Structure 1
């Protein structure tokens, strides 16, 4: 299998909205049942060998919710061994909501998700329980999504290993449907009172975030990306590797490397790593980070091992 197989946005643009709403609803369960971590690190999904997982959460009982994108099922499992599964294809978001609620109850989880709504999507005012509009689920496309996600995950893990400072896990965000890793400085960022609580917590320190998303109607193509927040003046003046560009967005810029450009490069993995490194250095250098001191070759900080 190719490192980065084709996954054009238009080939599954009807499935993405359904799958994202499935993920958001399970994400709401994770948000409600997990212990809070700084910068919302408790909330995103992590990858498994067959799909994505909430990881264990809750205390009475401890449980997980797992998507299997090979068998195309969702399974809720409690620590005492109780499990409840259902097939993913053929469900509207409203039906998925009802079946998820039943699965949670079957394993002893009493959690009220009746009023849960999409986050930052066009239908944010409509409860998931009333969404009969989104019901397209193409199993082949969803398997390909998970395969691409898995391959990108490992490249992001490699990039993460080159930084010795505070850094997030590589995780899959259900609200924006991307996978990312974020490097942090220890510099606090002041937000005004008009800034929402999600943003204030996510960006309470200076960050450079690197990731990948599958596209949406505003940018209908998969792409690798990086941004610095807050963005220092002059960040977008730094050059990026061939094929990558700086895209203006409101008062900042997003470094973008189209997935198609990366996957057709002579060395796709290296093309992505070079892009992430260039975008990181553009923001971190301008922000005054000690880039050399924070560097970590091959994930090694032990000076003895590094010499070997």
Structure 2
């Protein structure tokens, strides 16, 4: 299989819009049924060998321990219980409204009673409309949904490799269902003060200095897939620092700026994986230097912190 196969947004935009809302429904169940972690680390999905998963949750307020998995190979949603029971339904042929009903019915069958505080899309164009009333989004092309999972799986491993080079506080590789992007975040130990006017989601996510790197499939504002990186708070002068490789560039995004590297520019290059690592590394080194991070102390080349073992650090595939 090609590294970074083609995934033009124009080919699967309608399917992506439907899938994004499916993911938000399951994501809100995860939010309601998991133990809160710092920076909302309890909420995102993780990539699996067949799709994406919530990971186990529940186990309190009378609910069993359960997991919800998207299978993007056979295109089913499966709810699994700790006692071994499972229940599934097909992803094909569903509107957002029918997916919402089927998901709640599946939870009921295994004894899970969950109430979503706000069963509407989050920050999407139809945020005013309840999931239960969305019969508009019905597209689901299994080829492109499977292809997007292949891309997620490959990007996930590149992000894991990038994460391995940092021994400070670093997040798992997360798939964020609210914006449908995959990312890993490095943290400093310096707190960031934000006022009460800032929403609580943002205050928790960015309560420490961060440098975050990820990938998204594109949207109306940036209609093509791209790798991205940013620092929050953004240190003065960061946008003037050089990025690698040369096609990387800065864009305005929301209230800040993102370093971006278009996916197709990477695909067409001679060394795609290394190009992405160089991109992430160039942003990290510039932002960390401007913020005064101890880059040398925080480094773990090859995922190794033992100074005696660094000369013999294993490479991918050798251990």
Q: Give the TM-score taking structure 1 as reference length.
A: 0.98
Counterpart-to-counterpart distance in 2, 1:127 and 1:281 = 43
Q: Equivalent residue of 1:70, what SS?
A: coil
Q: How does 1:247-266 map to 2 (within 5 A)?
A: 247-249=251-253, 251-266=255-270
Q: Could you tell me which residue of structure 2 aligns to residue 56 of structure 1? A: 56
Q: Could you tell me which residue of structure 2 aligns to residue 159 of structure 1? A: 162
The answer to whether the 8 A contact 1:115-1:128 is kept is no
Counterpart-to-counterpart distance in 1, 2:311 and 2:19 = 47
Counterpart-to-counterpart distance in 2, 1:178 and 1:126 = 23
Q: Could you tell me which residue of structure 2 aligns to residue 46 of structure 1? A: 46
Is 1:298 aligned with 2:302? yes
Is 1:190 aligned with 2:190? no
Q: Could you tell me which residue of structure 2 aligns to residue 6 of structure 1? A: 6
Q: Could you tell me which residue of structure 2 aligns to residue 269 of structure 1? A: 273
Q: Could you tell me which residue of structure 2 aligns to residue 283 of structure 1? A: 287
Residues 30-81 of structure 1, C-alpha deviation per residue, up to 9 Å, x if partnerless? Answer: 0000000000000000011000000000103000000000000000011111
Counterpart-to-counterpart distance in 1, 2:282 and 2:131 = 40
Counterpart-to-counterpart distance in 2, 1:14 and 1:243 = 28
What is the aligned counterpart of 1:220 among 218, 223, 236? 223
Query: How many Å apart are 1:115 and its aligned residue?
Result: 4.9
Counterpart-to-counterpart distance in 2, 1:250 and 1:83 = 41
Query: How many Å apart are 1:285 and its aligned residue?
Result: 1.1
Counterpart-to-counterpart distance in 2, 1:266 and 1:273 = 14
Q: Could you tell me which residue of structure 1 aligns to residue 105 of structure 2? A: 102
Q: How many residue pairs were aligned?
A: 308
Q: 1:91 to 1:216 in 2, by over 3 A?
A: same
Query: How many Å apart are 1:251 and its aligned residue?
Result: 4.9
Query: How many Å apart are 1:250 and its aligned residue?
Result: 5.2
Query: How many Å apart are 1:114 and its aligned residue?
Result: 8.3
Counterpart-to-counterpart distance in 1, 2:153 and 2:90 = 22
Query: How many Å apart are 1:113 and its aligned residue?
Result: 3.6
What value does the CA root-mean-square deviation take over the aligned residues? 1.0
Q: Equivalent residue of 1:32, what SS?
A: helix
Query: How many Å apart are 1:252 and its aligned residue?
Result: 2.8
Counterpart-to-counterpart distance in 2, 1:47 and 1:76 = 16
Counterpart-to-counterpart distance in 1, 2:238 and 2:222 = 22
What is the aligned counterpart of 1:246 among 247, 250, 253? 250
Q: Could you tell me which residue of structure 1 aligns to residue 316 of structure 2? A: none
Residues 249-295 of structure 1, C-alpha deviation per residue, up to 9 Å, x if partnerless? Answer: 35532000000001111000000000000011121111111111111
Q: Could you tell me which residue of structure 2 aligns to residue 139 of structure 1? A: 142
Counterpart-to-counterpart distance in 1, 2:300 and 2:147 = 32
Counterpart-to-counterpart distance in 2, 1:71 and 1:115 = 30
Counterpart-to-counterpart distance in 2, 1:252 and 1:284 = 17
